[in-house]
Structure 1
């Protein structure tokens, strides 16, 4: 039986690009997302193109019962997961208290709690098996506070710091942990978060998911702790360390407010 990479949020964007990059390298896959039609088509295409075993599972990871069901099925199947890619997540924009609480709670459930639970369950299995690798997808915004996208920035800060700490905890047990911190990427994220791209659309800051995935997989092979693709994005992560916190908050808030609709 092959050993698998499990990728969440695999039906589009960064998750799909990572699935393709890994399949190209001969990696068997388990793709997880909510969209059955999209996943079925992607699984069939990747399997035919690259000759690898590609399975898919429909799951809303923000629903604890569905996540429990997925983990139970994985445990019962006996399939060994050698790479866990926690990519699923979404953002919102606007003043926090003006957003529907159900939306903000779902963001925390998906971006934070589902990721932590998958790391606990699958990371634990990896440790018992003596090895494996975890890639959690955060963002460059995880390095700073972000008024008018406050909850989203905070969830990505959690992913960044949690991943760094987990790396040290799991290293003696043979499990590698990396965190991917992309900058602006051409995905449906901006539409979902209700953010106007404006001048960012044609900016050199904007990276394609395919380019991002290639850089991420390359860095993953080198077991990099924090993967920030692109020198412009790496420069962006330095500003919170070099500038006063009040200035970082002010600049991030102004930028976020400028891309709000209306």
Structure 2
């Protein structure tokens, strides 16, 4: 039975870098994203470069009907998914009450509900087999409240805590669960979210997607519960535990307002 790593949000950024890092290690892939043309090109390139089998499925994971269709296909196939990488996610900036509800709902559906459903379905199959790994992608934003990024930060806090809880629940079944919490990363994510990171240009805090993927692979090899790429990012993740919550909210709000509300 063929074995695969399934990567969501694989058409760009950290998802693409993770897919390449896995292909480099000889892993067969199932790539999932909305952009068919991009996926087709990426699948062909990775298969040619690394000699692995790369399948792709076009799916908008924020649409429950499409997600159900994907899961049904996987259940009916003979694909054995030994690694699930839940990377797909979106960010949304600005004052919460001024955002279109449809945009907020999409963020919730994609960042939390789709990830949870994939963990339930594919993680359940892994547990029944007695082996497998899950890597959920959260963010440095998971460690503190984020005014003007309230929905995004809350969704990533959910991913962090959900993953840590699931890790304990599945430990006895032979399934490992890790959560990746990258800081600012050079990718299209911030541009798509309408955020301006010019103030961080050249900062050593900002890693490339390839660096994040490499450190994620090392963390997976060691079966780490929480993978935070870069010592600077790890330091920042600890600060909210040391500062009063009121001060954490104030600092986070000021930084997010400045970054999110200035046009790129």
Tell me, yes or no, whether TM beats 0.5. Answer: yes
2:256 matched to 1:261? no
Query: Within 5 Å, which residues of 2 pair with 1:1-262?
Result: 1-259=1-259, 260-261=261-262
- Deviations along 1:139-169, one digit per CA (max 9) or x if unpaired, are 0110100000000000000000000000000
Structure 1: segments with no counterpart, 5+ residues: none
Deviation at 1:204, TM superposition (A): 1.1
- Deviations along 1:210-251, one digit per CA (max 9) or x if unpaired, are 011001001101100000000000001111100000000000
Is 2:138–2:160's contact at 8 Å kept on the other side of the alignment?
Answer: yes
- Deviations along 1:1-42, one digit per CA (max 9) or x if unpaired, are 321000000000000000000000000000000000000000
TM-score normalised according to structure 1 size: 0.99
Distance 2:36 2:255 in 1: 36
Distance 2:233 2:207 in 1: 10
Distance 1:63 1:10 in 2: 17
Q: Secondary structure of the residue that 2:207 maps to in structure 1?
A: coil
TM-score normalised according to structure 2 size: 0.98
Stretch of structure 1 that moved more, 80-89 or 189-198: 189-198
Distance 1:58 1:117 in 2: 17
In angstroms, what is the RMSD of aligned CA positions?
0.7
Distance 2:49 2:2 in 1: 18
Structure 2: segments with no counterpart, 5+ residues: none
Distance 2:248 2:239 in 1: 7
Deviation at 1:179, TM superposition (A): 0.1
Q: Which runs of 4 or more aligned residues in structure 1 lie more than 6 Å from their structure 2 counterparts after TM superposition?
A: none
Is 2:2–2:78's contact at 8 Å kept on the other side of the alignment?
Answer: no
Q: Secondary structure of the residue that 1:93 maps to in structure 2?
A: coil
Q: Secondary structure of the residue that 2:42 maps to in structure 1?
A: helix
